[in-house]
Amino acid sequence: MTQQRTGCRTANILALSVPGKGTDTLGGGGARHELAHFLASRRARLTPPDVGLSPGRRRRVPGLRREEVAVLANVSETWYARLEQGQEINVSPEVLDGIARALQLDRHERAYLFMLAGTSERSVAGLSLRPVLARSIVAVLDALALAPAVVYGPRYDVLLCNRAYVAVFGDINDAPVARGNVVRQVFLDPTRRTLFPDWEEVARTVLQSFRINAGRHAGEPAFGELIAELRHESAEFASWWDEHDVERRTIGEKLVDHPIVGRLVLDHVALALPDRPEVSAIVYTAAAGSDSERKLQRLCR
């Protein structure tokens, strides 16, 4: 018999509410504003010797000068200055490629640069924070009785999770500070700092991935409200957000110090949903025959 409770869609699945939209924007000025800050931050981390230039004399600030980046990217200094000032100018993929090479961007940073500059697909305003999910997705999570699984929306609002996920990570509905959002929970819920022994790495990873989505939705109030709240409430979030680092990890290992069974070592993989490109499903598993697998079975059963 299927149990009925508010928000549930099956006996083993929790369907979670998503907070409403707010009024702020990414960085206070949309994609061009974020692009300006991102370029400046990448320029500041390089030194002239890093790019084969002489350090020269009387450098007032660390990092490269704008004119040095312009030379390396084979663009005019005036044009590059306008780009870094967030002005609306046309940017070709070829020019962006030169800037990416000049600033020694990795593949995540390069993709982020192209997205902010508008040469790759960005979402239109008015995204659905709670897209309709196929019934088959609910069934899949329901079937993963011994594998914690969760489905995130674009803001890392939890759309669905199974009972195994709740057994390991707790019910996000019972964490008032989280309000159904994983980024808010990681940074503002003190229990996460004891649950994750490597909390700083977990938090940085979540922030860097969330920033990619925020860049894709630059200027949308729903993201701006969340960013403004986290910058105000978390010193770590405010400091790391200003570093402008971006990365999305699709596989990895997560350590969990569970209050009942102790240390769990879990592998996780992010699965994309082709018909819902901004929705991610994360599934956690323990190595077969491991102590973590036995602990996980104990929790889930």
Q: What is the mean pLDDT of the chain?
A: 82
pLDDT value of position 17: 38
Lowest mean pLDDT among 24-38, 78-92, 258-272, 275-289: 24-38
Instruction: Report the alpha-carbon angle 172-275-149, nearest 5.
Output: 30
Residue type, 65: R
User: Residues in the chain, how many?
Assistant: 301
15-19, 104-108, 129-133, 289-293: the lowest-pLDDT one: 15-19
With a cut of 60, say whether residue 127 has pLDDT above it. no
Among 83-92, 195-204, 222-231, the range scoring the smallest mean pLDDT is: 83-92
- pLDDT for residue 19 is more than 60: no
Q: Is the pLDDT of residue 220 over 80?
A: yes
Residue 9, pLDDT > 80, answer no
Domain boundaries, the chain: 13-25+127-300, 30-117
CA distance 154 to 3: 29
In the sheet with 149-152, reading across from the earlier edge strand, the strands are 13-15, 158-162, 149-152, 276-285, 262-273, 251-258
Q: Kindly report the pTM of this predicted structure.
A: 0.72
In angstroms, the CA 86 to CA 70 distance is 16
Per-residue pLDDT at 123 exceeds 60 = no
**pLDDT of amino acid 274:** 67
Q: How high is the pLDDT of residue 28?
A: 45
Task: Say whether pLDDT at 297 is over 90.
Answer: yes
CA 73, 62, 235 angle in degrees (round to 5)? 110
List C-alpha distances in Å: 107 to 43, 69, 100, 181, 270. 16, 19, 9, 27, 18
* Band of pLDDT at residue 205, cut at 50, 70 and 90: very high
Mind listing the pLDDT tens digit for each residue in 186-199? 999 999 999 999 99
Domain 13-25+127-300 has CATH 3.30.450.180: yes
CA distance 137 to 152: 12
pLDDT at 285: 95
Q: pLDDT tier at 5 (50, 70, 90 boundaries)?
A: very low
Give the pLDDT of residue 221: 86
Q: Which residue has the higher pLDDT, 127 or 7?
A: 127
With b for 16 or more beta-carbon neighbours within 10 A and e for fewer, the 25-63 pattern comes to bbbebbbbbbbbbbbebbbeebeeeebeeeeeeeeeeeb
| Region 135-151 average pLDDT | 84
**Which of residues 160 and 1 earns the better pLDDT score?**
160
Q: Is it the case that residue 130 has pLDDT exceeding 70?
A: no
Question: Tokens for 270?
Answer: 């992010």
pLDDT-based confidence at residue 124 (cuts at 50, 70, 90): very low
Query: What is the model's pLDDT at position 98?
Result: 86
Choose from 50-64, 112-126, 206-220 the range with maximum mean pLDDT.
206-220
CA distance 22 to 97: 35
CB neighbourhood size of 214 (10 A): 25
Mean pLDDT of 141-167: 90
Domain 30-117 indexed as CATH 3.90.1150.10? no
How confident is the model at residue 126, as a pLDDT? 46
| Nearby residues of 97 by Cβ (< 8 Å), 6 or more positions away | none
Question: Three-state SS string across the chain, please?
Answer: CCCCCCCECCCCEEECCCCCCCCCCHHHCHHHHHHHHHHHHHHHCCCHHHHCCCCCCCCCCCCCCHHHHHHHHCCCHHHHHHHHCCCCCCCCHHHHHHHHHHCCCCHHHHHHHHHHHCCCCCCCCCCCCCCCCCHHHHHHHHHCCCCCEEEECCCCEEEEEEHHHHHHHCCHHHCCCCCCEHHHHHHHCCHHHHHCCCHHHHHHHHHHHHHHHHHHCCCCHHHHHHHHHHHHHCHHHHHHHCCCCCCCCCEEEEEEEECCCEEEEEEEEEEEECCEEEEEEEEEECCCCCHHHHHHHHHHC
